[in-house]
Amino acid sequence: MKSGVVFDIREFALHDGPGIRTTVFLKGCPLRCSWCHNPDGWIRDPQIIHGQAGDRLIGKDYTSEELAALLNEQADILRANEGGVTFSGGEPLEQAEFVTEVCDRLDNLHIVFDTSGDGTETALRLVAEKVDLFYYDLKLIDSTAHRHFTGADNAPILSNLRLLSSLGASFVIRVPLVPGVTDTDENLNAIAETVRNLPGLVRVDLLPYNRAAGGKYSNLGLKFCPLYDEQRELRLNAEPFERHRVPVRIAASDMPIRKPVPA
């Protein structure tokens, strides 16, 4: 029986898939995105976080049986509200075997897998057999920019996206909009061109920048050092997707939005 490390379980989540959901956040991630708001999900091992209420341990070991039993306690209410379970992170592909064992023990629940796509082909194939819907992050198409802002190459991510499409999976592309980085016309157009003809694409979600991105760093003994100007206006632009006839949805934002000016 596999075991895994979880750093949070969020009940009654409304934005992590259809209906009301329980979201499981798994520790471990190969990326170091400059805008990451979950640095407690970076390393696989449990760690101490320092807060005003004192120190606490982030990360708990579960067997697949233990976690499935916990999630199944909520199965009736999740199904009644057309929801289910979402596996997020960190990067849940790093614990693919554990996730699949949990899925096998769930009581007829809809499963969303929220991934950056940065993992092995073997891991992706494994979870694809168990998952109803993927949330798949695409941040930057330019490989040099991707390495600069995330610390990793995007070639495996793009390759895994094509693989996922070929496997007949359904997926939502999620684009975190970071001012001056991912929200440029060039990047959004490149994403639209990349995904427009992929079988299985449900839609693209544009996710405005999270103002609380740096909130957890000091409690982990880390310093939040974004490689961009946080105060720059976010440029929200769905036009590249609309032009390529890609279904697109924009999440609510509390930031000033500078919409593109027609040429």
Map out the domains of the chain with their CATH numbers.
Answer: 3-250 (3.20.20.70)
Pairing of strands 21-26, 3-13: antiparallel
| Confidence at residue 207, expressed as pLDDT on a 0 to 100 scale | 96
Model confidence at 214, pLDDT cuts 50, 70, 90, reads confident
Q: For residue range 164-193, what is the model confidence (pLDDT) as tens digits? A: 999 999 999 999 999 999 999 999 999 999
If you average pLDDT over residues 129-154, what whole number do you get?
98
The whole-angstrom separation of Cα 116 and Cα 237 is 22
The whole-angstrom separation of Cα 111 and Cα 151 is 29
Model confidence at 53, pLDDT cuts 50, 70, 90, reads confident
β partners of residue 201: 171
- The yes-or-no verdict on residue 67 having pLDDT over 70 is yes
| Confidence at residue 155, expressed as pLDDT on a 0 to 100 scale | 98
Name, in order, each residue with C-beta under 8 angstroms of 95's C-beta and a sequence gap of 6 or more.
4, 5, 26, 28
- The yes-or-no verdict on residue 140 having pLDDT over 70 is yes
Share of the chain above pLDDT 90, in %: 88
pTM of the model: 0.93
- The yes-or-no verdict on residue 212 having pLDDT over 50 is yes
Model confidence at 27, pLDDT cuts 50, 70, 90, reads very high
If you average pLDDT over residues 103-107, what whole number do you get?
98
- The yes-or-no verdict on residue 132 having pLDDT over 60 is yes
φ, ψ at 39 (rounded to 5°): -65, -15
Query: In angstroms, how far is the first alpha carbon of the chain from the final one?
Result: 59
Model confidence at 255, pLDDT cuts 50, 70, 90, reads very low
Helix axes 64-72, 96-105, angle to 10 degrees: 50
Pairing of strands 60-63, 3-13: antiparallel
- The yes-or-no verdict on residue 43 having pLDDT over 90 is yes
| Confidence at residue 130, expressed as pLDDT on a 0 to 100 scale | 97
- Residue 59 per-residue DSSP state: -
- Chain-wide mean pLDDT for the chain? 93
| Confidence at residue 252, expressed as pLDDT on a 0 to 100 scale | 61
The whole-angstrom separation of Cα 200 and Cα 134 is 10
